[in-house]
A and B are shown apart, each in its own frame.
Chain A
């Protein structure tokens, strides 16, 4: 059958391999047929509870079979799945619910208990709860949402919206990147092609579905009829145990996980006879760790990748180039147009550097509810008009260099966006969260290089009342209200008011320089 929509990724497997294992979740597993039955049941519930085509449905679940069922069922009824990282705290969940007007939420018991005290509860119509929670008129138990199945007549087309993936930019709060069914399918086709995925593959899913590359493990495996092996915890010993016990053939991760796994495997002697490949994305692995990976994992193929949520995936370094181009982000993935442009001189050639631009069918539909920022980030590049005409491209904000053989190397960001552990963080997001403590007046946040995490967040703050200011209280406030990767590793307490520019704005570059000089002393 032809695969046009996200739901087709599941159903095309029912003709030839319905009994094949689709998802392994610890001791539980489901076949494609069992998964499809659950998806049909949940889709029925969604239709009966007035979830219409285009409605956003929030999914705030730990990695589980239920998260897979929920994601596909939402797409099945033409609604838009919004998977929210479970590392996010209640305040980020509330932000997403408000930002894209979520009316239906699927959540675990712990989240449901927290939500009872939140004022967003009044904005939601229906909440499906997986796991125990006290009852509430709006709450439906997961099991009850699967109680019956009826035929669903709800046509879905491939240019329709399928997903919002929330990610940050250089300013402001996280934005929902709008992906169509076509974006997700073309992404899966491209990635599965260069990874040579097939139905015998078992791929580890340790990255969240709220992250484009995490979602790609699901789409690529279902495209080829393989098996996705869920790994909800990041501990190196647990990841290694799953790789061995579940005969995993492909392992995708981000740099901090490789650093920790390498440390762990250097003192263990573990073999991975079934592991065929590793993939990295979300930043650069430190070279002294990267060079160890082939030996530690039994000489698998290693694919180094680069992508941005706005265009799903962009480049990869083929494994046969690993030794001679180690650390490069490679070249365009199949069916993606990747260009390097110097905005004054035009398209770059070997030896030159410029901004990476991405064109083609993986380019997303922009940011939810934010046409101004969409217009800035997605636009026509006049240097490319002879190739692309009036087609819009995504401006990555990443400066890359082309080497003499045409391979790309990441150089730096062109803006102040912070990237920690593969997560994008805007300084404004951190500053707003810290300001919400009402303990500070001025706040400036910035990224500081970190070997393991890429960058970590630091902030400089001016206390609102210096006689009553307690740094520990501010740190605890951040722990409670911000996801771990966003929490400042260092808080510089500024003595007196911060320097300002002639127009009265905070002089950010100077403040950052003074704060970093101080910590270097």
Chain B
């Protein structure tokens, strides 16, 4: 698996049921209810395997994960 914007949008749509027509890079996925508590673990597992990174519990927060833009930035920093 590789990590990129397109693959993540496909994942959000196919696996987590997000209507990707209704979101942009800044849409707040958890705060605005596109994703709920059940999706957190799935999303983290997906990011760890697709981007080959390890995410600690303290990194699982809204600053890192609440939008497509934030997730991309977070993964970029982790893989640098």
Contacts and interface: CB of A to CB of B under 8 A. Distances in A.
A binds B: yes
Contacts of A235: 30, 37, 40, 60-62
Given A62-B33, A110-B32, A476 B17 contact: yes
Contact of B17 (A264, A472, A479): A479
B33 A234 contact: no
A331 to B, nearest CB: 31
A86 B14 CA distance: 20
A12 interface: no
Contacts of B31: 62, 232-233
A117 B19 CA distance: 14
Contact of A267 (B16, B22, B40, B56): B56
Contact of A237 (B15, B36, B61): B61
A485 B38 contact: yes
Most chain A beta-carbon neighbours within 10 Å: one of B32, B56, B57: B57
B16 A479 contact: yes
Contacts of B39: 484
Nearest to A233: B30
Nearest to A480: B17
A62 B58 contact: no
B66 to A, nearest CB: 8
B1 to A, nearest CB: 16
A479 B62 contact: no
A237 B16 contact: no
A233 B16 contact: no
A87 interface: yes
A234 B39 CA distance: 10
Interface in A244-274: 256-257, 263-264, 267-268
Interface in B1-49: 14-17, 22, 30-34, 36-40
Given A113-B22, A485-B38, A264 B57 contact: yes
B19 to A, nearest CB: 8
Contact of B40 (A87, A113, A234): A234
Contacts of B38: 421, 484-485
A contact patch SS: helix
A214 interface: no
A319 interface: no
Nearest to A232: B31
A437 to B, nearest CB: 14
Nearest to A483: B36
Interface in A33-62: 62
A236 B57 contact: yes
Given A237-B60, A267-B56, A484-B36, A479 B15 contact: yes
A267 B55 CA distance: 13
Contacts of A108: 32-33
A390 interface: no
A108 B22 CA distance: 14
Contacts of A87: 33, 36
B74 to A, nearest CB: 13
Nearest to B65: A235
A485 B15 CA distance: 15
Nearest to A237: B61
A238 interface: yes
A237 B44 CA distance: 14
A472 B13 CA distance: 13
Contacts of B40: 234-235
Contacts of B62: 233, 235, 238
B11 to A, nearest CB: 12
A232 B37 CA distance: 10
A110 to B, nearest CB: 6
Interface string A89-114: 00000000000000000001010010
B32 A237 contact: no
Nearest to B28: A233
Contacts of A421: 38
Contact of B58 (A256, A268, A476): A268
B69 to A, nearest CB: 18
A106 to B, nearest CB: 15
B36 to A, nearest CB: 5
Nearest to A109: B32
Contacts of A264: 57-58
A106 B60 CA distance: 32
Interface of A: 62, 86-87, 108, 110, 113, 232-238, 241, 256-257, 263-264, 267-268, 421, 472, 476, 479-480, 483-485
9 contacts: A62-B31, A108-B33, A232-B31, A233-B31, A234-B37, A235-B37, A264-B57, A264-B58, A484-B38
Given A237-B58, A484-B38, 5 more contacts: A110-B22, A232-B31, A236-B60, A241-B61, A483-B36
